[in-house]
Chains A and B, each alone.
Chain A
Amino acid sequence: MATEPTLAPAVMEPVVISAAGLSYRHLNEQVRSAIRSGATEITLNDVMGHRYIGTGIHAPGVTIHVNGVPGEDLGAFLDGPHIIVHNNAQDGVGNTMNEGRIEIHGQAGDVVGYGMRGGRILIRGDVGYRVGIHMKGYRDKQPLIVTGGCAGNFYGEYMAGGCQVLLGIGQSDKKPVVGQYCASGMHGGVMYIRGELDGWKLGKEVQQIPLDRHDREFLKPVLEDFCETFAVKEKLLEFDRFVRIAPVSARPYGRLYVY
């Protein structure tokens, strides 16, 4: 008698894939097919510059561990999964990400969370230029990027929504917490920056404000999440070291044109 086909078990054994020798297309195909067959824990070993890891995957509840250095556009258009990078990441992390969570235990390159509209990116170390640009929030979707270290120029450029937190761990005279043109063109959302911030670096569309009670209430769980994720011992909850940066107007260029 033929046996009844059985459903895939609810919790599968963790899937381990070695990326060595695989093209990114094949690697991602393997990841997708693992997810389709029900995997919830996937570990990618020997990753070395493979692009698009997790890109365009709609699968809440899936965790992808990345060992090695992932390539560009990690988690682009991400829709649900939780990606943990145990090393540094390169450029384009979380490009136009919709939902999910990306943790990077090292540092990340340029253009993190471009046009991000949901989910959460946590980065232990520094980030490059143009981080969190064009970030957007809409209703219940409010993206969040927490950067442990320092950021380059154009941080939060054209930000239109969501939240960025820059902790500036390891900042010094030679390594300022954030580069120039911070928040230029920002017209929505909010950013919190910890540490010494020179006002001239800010775009003219924004202002610095000390934190109020709401800010503290918002930040506290965020910072706790960061510390827990990366096992950071540093005392981060000194709210007076933070400033809040918010746009003056939702319409920065309203008077630029004449009809």
Chain B
Amino acid sequence: MKRVYPREERCINCHLCEVACIVEHSETKLPSAAYHVEGLRFNREDSRTICDPAEARAAGVPKPLNRTLVQTAGYLSLSTNCRHCEEPDCVLACKNGSLYVAEDGRVLVQEDKCVGCWMCVMACRYGAISRNPARSNVPAVAFNGINHHCDLCPERELPACVWVCPTNALVFEDRDDQ
């Protein structure tokens, strides 16, 4: 199946993939609305999106979050997202079966079933699953949020991150034969 592959030697650490991802997964699909109306602020220390539930609540608004993440070390950067594994560790670990492998091979989550136990975060060896505190199916005890990872932009032919990347550092291709 076609997957998104990063080409780190081309990545220029601009984070436009994250922007495109957020906009694509926003309600309005408008950048300013996605950030300002639906949006939320950046974490002070590292300009990553906030995952701290308390902070998120303090900010007061749910937000679309990036499902791809640019990871950096010195000069190196690469945009990483769900590998859509054939035998996904996250599906094997999911506490109540809310993660599943779809017909077309994508690894998806039933958003109304996920209880935010983070077994998937624990299981994913690519660090590709994040926590979306904007939604929760479990009302109390802990502020849970739900599983949040790349869905390969079902409404687009080319995932938004790939489409936007100015240096083609992300490619969407089928490498299953390799």
Asked if A and B touch directly (CB within 8 angstroms), the answer is no
Enumerate chain A interface residues (CB-CB to B < 8 A): none
Enumerate chain B interface residues (CB-CB to A < 8 A): none
